[in-house]
């Protein structure tokens, strides 16, 4: 079996993060096709990168995980100041400045880069997940000819740094999570000639008992649901603003249910109900009974929560300013989108007033997930691309 290494800045069952969770999912699904190892740091949180995991090597769900110590923690305040300076237009940014910024961004882990360099011939392929961090930016340079990049790219200021050009142009292959990401990266780096595929994850759904399903329906009645971190960066401030205005203008019994960790204040409103962090079973039961899942975020690479909603035949209402989310709606016909308050209100009322259309959207969402987001399809695409990259 060919031996591949997946590199991510963090890895573990306790780690909360989109790209980290994605890395764990694909590692566990690829272990039948390849000898898979994880190369990662000992950090558990992405703010300080403090070394928390004690073991150098451990096994998690049948995958060997090699951990390397970060040489230093990140000081958030200092990093914020460096970032503000480097993004300031008066500041004539050089490669040296960008290089220092990468080191400050972290996780500062020269040991992982050293390991990759010394063990280049012991692996057939190195797969780097997330372009942004030190582990990818430094590590990939040691093994360009044996590397696959899974960038999870957004249109954000850092991607335009010169230091990332080589990362996107010299790798052997690229995996994009969405068509929109591919279009953006190809346009930004003119790297269409690099072999690539567009594939994401399969969607697994735990069994939801009839009791759980009925419990939600009986307790909350008619509701829309938001699942995820409750944060300004996820567009939740606009969501609350819009929902409160919606309730002022529309006298009905609709509620907004929230499921996730709150890192911002939630308005005190009788129809906004925060359930906090819930179990997977409760999450799916909640989404299953919702009139729609609402996702107000501007920046999404993939949105597993939208795909999970489709899996249980719940349509979605999403922020139309996010090309990835709008793309899911257009390709599936299983959701509506908004770009201002009145479109938000219009989309919501349309969903509530057209139960038959809503039901059909739900069915179409399930069909979309079954077509593009099944594990056998994802594993096949990744396997073919990785083998092609190995064979040259």
Partner 1 sequence: MEVNIEKIMDEIRENIVKNGLDKEEEQGFSKEEYLKNAGIINNSWNIPEHVEPTGKGKVLKRGLGKLLNFAILPRVRKQNEMNVALVRTINQLTAYIGEQDEAIRKLNQRIDKLEKELKDSKKE
Contact positions vs partner 1 (CB under 8 A): 84, 87-90, 156-157, 160, 232-233, 235, 237-238, 241, 265, 298, 321, 329-330, 333-337, 340-343, 346-347, 350, 356-357, 360-361, 364
278, two tokens: 């819930």
User: What values do phi and psi take at 198, rounded to 5?
Assistant: -115, 110
Nearer to partner 1, 158 or 375 (CB): 158
Q: How far is the CB of 298 from partner 1 (least distance, A)?
A: 6
125-164 burial, b for 16+ CB within 10 Å, e for fewer?
bbbbbbbbbbbbbbbbebbeebbbbbbbbbeeebbebebb
Shortest distance, position 88 Cβ to partner 1, whole Å: 6
Take residue 86 and report the two structure tokens written for it: 């480097």
Closest approach of partner 1 to the CB of residue 306, in Å: 14
Q: Which is nearer to partner 1, 87 or 95 (CB)?
A: 87
- Residue 32 or 160: the one with the smaller Cβ distance to partner 1 is 160
Which residue do the tokens 């139960």 mark?
A: 355
If the CB atoms of residues 209 and 252 are measured against partner 1, the closer one turns out to be 252
Least distance in angstroms from the C-beta of 50 to partner 1:
23
Q: How far apart are CA 354 and CA 382, in angstroms?
A: 40
| CB of 166 vs partner 1, minimal distance in Å | 19
The nearest distance, CB 333 to partner 1, in angstroms, is 5
In angstroms, give the least distance from the CB of 302 to partner 1.
Answer: 19
**Sequence-distant (≥ 6) Cβ neighbours of residue 345 within 8 angstroms:** 242, 245, 246, 249, 250
CA nearest neighbour of 359 among 334, 330, 332: 334
DSSP string for residues in 25-90: HHHHHHTTTSEEEEEEESBS-TTT--B----SEEEETTEEEEEE--SS---HHHHHHHHHHHH-TT
Containing 327, the helix (H) or strand (E) segment is helix 323-332
Rounded Cα–Cα distance for residues 318 and 313 (Å): 16
- The CA–CA distances, whole Å, from 91 to 47, 157, 343 equal 25, 14, 40
* Minimal distance, residue 157 CB to partner 1, in Å: 5
In the bound state with partner 1, the residue whose beta carbon lies nearer, of 143 and 334, is 334
Is 183 or 343 the residue whose CB approaches partner 1 more closely?
343
List CB contacts of 107: < 8 A, sequence separation 6 or more: 9, 10, 41, 43, 49, 70, 74, 133, 134, 135
Closest of 171, 102, 140, 120 to residue 8, by C-alpha = 140
**Minimum Å distance from CB 268 to partner 1?**
11
Looking at the Cβ atoms of 1 and 87, the one nearer to partner 1 is: 87
List b or e across 22-36, with b for residues whose CB sees 16 or more CB atoms inside 10 angstroms: bbbbbbebbeebbeb
Choose between 156 and 211: whose C-beta lies nearer to partner 1.
Answer: 156
CB-nearer residue toward partner 1: 195 or 249: 249
Minimum distance, C-beta of residue 392 to partner 1, in the bound complex (Å):
32
**Tokens 């979605």 identify what position?**
316
- Give the integer Cα–Cα distance in Å for 208 and 236: 27
Q: Which is nearer to partner 1, 267 or 276 (CB)?
A: 267
């Amino acid at each position: 079996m060919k031996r591949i290494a997946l590199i991510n800045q963090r890895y573990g069952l306790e780690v909360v993060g989109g790209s980290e969770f994605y890395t764990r999912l694909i590692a566990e699904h690829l272990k039948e096709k390849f000898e898979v190892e994880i190369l990662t740091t000992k950090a558990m949180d992405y703010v300080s990168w403090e070394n928390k995991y004690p073991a150098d090597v451990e096994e998690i769900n049948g995958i060997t995980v090699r951990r390397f110590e970060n040489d230093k923690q990140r000081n958030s305040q200092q990093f914020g100041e460096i970032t503000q300076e480097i993004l300031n237009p008066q500041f004539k940014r050089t490669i040296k400045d960008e290089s220092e910024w990468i080191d400050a961004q972290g996780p500062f882990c020269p040991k992982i880069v050293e390991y990759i360099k010394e063990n280049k011939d012991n692996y057939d392929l190195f797969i780097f997940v997330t372009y942004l961090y030190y582990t990818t930016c430094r590590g990939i340079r040691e093994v360009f000819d044996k590397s696959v990049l899974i960038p999870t790219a957004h249109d954000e200021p850092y991607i335009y740094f010169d230091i990332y050009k080589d990362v996107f142009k010299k790798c052997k292959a690229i995996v994009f999570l969405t068509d929109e990401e591919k279009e953006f990266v190809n346009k930004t780096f003119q790297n269409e000639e690099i072999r690539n595929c567009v594939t994401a994850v399969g969607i697994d759904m735990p069994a939801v008992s009839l009791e759980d399903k009925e419990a939600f329906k009986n307790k909350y009645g008619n509701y829309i649901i938001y699942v995820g971190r409750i944060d300004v960066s996820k567009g939740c401030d606009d969501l609350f603003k819009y929902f409160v205005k919606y309730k002022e203008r529309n006298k009905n019994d609709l509620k907004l249910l929230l499921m996730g960790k709150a890192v911002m204040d939630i308005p005190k409103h009788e129809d906004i109900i925060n359930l906090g962090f819930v179990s997977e079973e409760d999450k799916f039961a909640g989404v299953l009974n919702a009139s729609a899942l609402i996702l107000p975020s501007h920046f999404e690479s993939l949105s597993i929560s939208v795909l999970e909603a489709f899996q249980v035949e719940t349509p979605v209402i999403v922020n139309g300013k996010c090309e990835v989310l709008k793309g899911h709606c257009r390709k599936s016909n299983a959701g509506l989108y908004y770009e201002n308050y009145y479109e938000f209100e219009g989309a919501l009322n349309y969903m509530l007033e057209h139960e038959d259309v809503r039901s059909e959207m739900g069915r179409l969402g399930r069909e979309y997930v079954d077509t593009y987001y099944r594990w056998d399809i994802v594993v096949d695409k990744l396997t073919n691309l990785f083998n092609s990259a190995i064979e040259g």
